Amino acid sequence: MEFIAPVDAVFLLAESREQPMHVGSLQLFEPPEDAGADFAAQVHEKLLHCADIDPTFRKHPATVLGTPQLAWTYAEDVELDYHVRRLAVPGPGRMDQLVELASGLHGSLLDRHRPLWEIHLIEGLADGRFALYSKMHHALIDGVSAQRLLRRTLTSDPSATAARVPWHLPRTRRKAERSGVRAATRNLLSAATSGASVLRAAREALLRQQPFAAPRTMFNVPIGGARRSVVRSWPLDRLQQVKKATGSTLNDVVLAMSAGALRRYLVERNALPDKPLIAMVPVSLRSEDDDETNGVKVGAALCNLATDLADPLERLRVVSASMHDSKEVYRALSCNQTMALSALMLSPLALNLVPALIPWTNPTFNIVISNVPGPREPMYWSGARLDASYPLSIPFDGQAVNITLTSNAGNLDFGLVGCRRSVPQLPRLLDHLEDSLAELERAAD
C-alpha cells in the first residue's frame, strides 16, 4: 500500500457520475494483407495470454481508516477477460457507428474495486479494419504519458507480430523509483520552499493575463454523464505550410484553427461573446527521457483565442503572442514550481465540484485544447498498420467540451468529446475546423 500523491488524488476526488476522470484513445488498425477473417479474434486471444501485469496496472484506491482516495492498493489477481474485452460494431459497420460505440464506453465510470483501466478490441467495420478503445484513470496517468505508453506498444516493423501490451512492456534503464510517499513529500517540500518565486510568477501571470478574463459561454455549464465523441484527421503538411508562411509554431496554428472553429460554431448559434474565449493548454513537464508512466506531470498555460476577431491572421498573431507570454512565465520555474503555479491558476475549478455554484462563478477558462506529440512514421501493432489514433479526453463540470489531438505519421488526429446534453451538433465543430484551416491557408498564401 502507498499513499496517493496530492495532485493524483484530485482526479479521484473530483470524479462523479457526471464527470468521469479517465483519459481514452481510439486507435484504428488496418490488418495485414494476408490476414484472415478471424484476425481480430486471434489478436484478442493473444492479449488474454499476456498475463504478466506491471504494478501500475494492478493499482486501485484503498480505504484507510474509513477514508477512500488516500492510498493505493495492488490487486493480486487481475481478471484480464474483464479488463480486455472483444466487441463488434453493429451492421453495416460504418465509422460513425464505431465512434458512437466508443462514446458510450467513454462515458462510463471505471470500477474502483478493480485496477483502473480497460481495453476494448472492436471489430465489425465494413472496410475490414478493427479498433482498440482504451481508457485509464487520470489519477494513474496523464495524457502525454498515456500516449507514450501506447506508442511503446507499437513498432515501425510491419513484420513484427508479437502482441505488445501496455500492461506489460520492456522497461528502459532509468533511475531507481522513489516510493509514492517519498516522492509526494519531496514535491510538497520543493513547492513550499519556493513559495516566493511561485508568488512572483503568479503575480506576473495574472498581470499578463488579466485583460483576458474568460467570458461565460454555452460551454461553461453543469454537465451530464453521457458523452458524444467525434473524430477526424488532417494532413500535417497543411498546418506546416501555414506555420512556415506565418512564422508561428505548429501548436499556434492548431490553436488558431480551433479558435476559428469555435467562433464559427458560436456565431451559428448566436452565442459568441464579445470577449475572446480563453483556452487552457496543458504543458507536459516530462523531459524527453522521462519514460515513467506513474502519476501526473502537467502544467497549465492560458491562451487568448481571439475569437472576437474576424481576421484569421490577426487571430493567429494574438494566439502566438498569448502563448509566448505564458511560456515566458513558466520558463524560469522548476517542474515543481510550475505545477504549484498551475494549481494556483486553476484553483477556481474547485468550485466546479459544487455544480450549483457554476452559474454564479466566472470560468477560469472556456475550453481545454491539448496537442500531444505522437509518432511521425507509420507504426504497426501485431502486424496491423495504425491508421489513426484519436485521443478522447475529459470534459469537466463547467467545461462541457474538450479538444485533444495527436500526430500520427503524416496526420494530425483530432478527438473532440462533449457533454451530449450541453453541446448540440458536436460534429459541426469538425466541419468548422476544416473551414477554419482553409481560411488560414487562403490568408497565409
The reported pLDDT for the residue numbered 285 is: 60
The reported pLDDT for the residue numbered 180 is: 42
pTM: 0.87
The reported pLDDT for the residue numbered 359 is: 57
Helix (H, G, I), strand (E, B) or coil at 334: coil
Backbone phi, psi, residue 240, to 5°: -65, -35
The reported pLDDT for the residue numbered 169 is: 78
User: Which DSSP category does 318 fall into?
Assistant: H
The reported pLDDT for the residue numbered 66 is: 66
369, 279 in Cβ contact below 8 A? yes
Angle between helix axes 195-209 and 180-193 (nearest 10 degrees) is: 70
What's the half-sphere exposure (Cβ side, CA atoms, 13 Å) at 382?
A: 21
Angle at 226 between CA 224 and CA 228, to 5 degrees: 120
The reported pLDDT for the residue numbered 170 is: 67
Per the structure block, which three cell numbers stand in for 363?
470560468
Is 113 designated active site? no
pLDDT tens, residue order, the chain (445 aa):
688 887 788 888 889 999 999 999 999 999 999 999 999 999 999 999 999 999 999 999 997 766 667 799 999 999 999 999 999 999 999 999 999 999 999 999 999 999 999 999 999 999 999 999 999 999 888 777 787 888 889 999 999 988 899 999 766 544 334 344 444 444 444 444 445 555 555 555 555 554 447 999 999 999 999 999 999 999 999 999 999 999 999 999 999 999 999 999 999 999 999 999 999 998 766 555 555 544 445 667 889 999 999 999 999 999 999 999 887 776 766 666 666 666 665 555 545 544 554 555 678 899 999 999 899 899 999 999 999 999 999 998 889 999 999 999 999 999 999 999 999 999 999 999 999 999 999 999 8
Residues 6+ apart with CB under 8 A from 252: 243, 316, 319, 320, 323
The sheet carrying 227-235 orders its strands as 227-235, 411-419, 401-408, 367-372, 278-284, 298-304
The reported pLDDT for the residue numbered 338 is: 65
411, 236 in Cβ contact below 8 A? yes
Catalytic residue among 137, 138, 324, 432: 138
The reported pLDDT for the residue numbered 191 is: 41
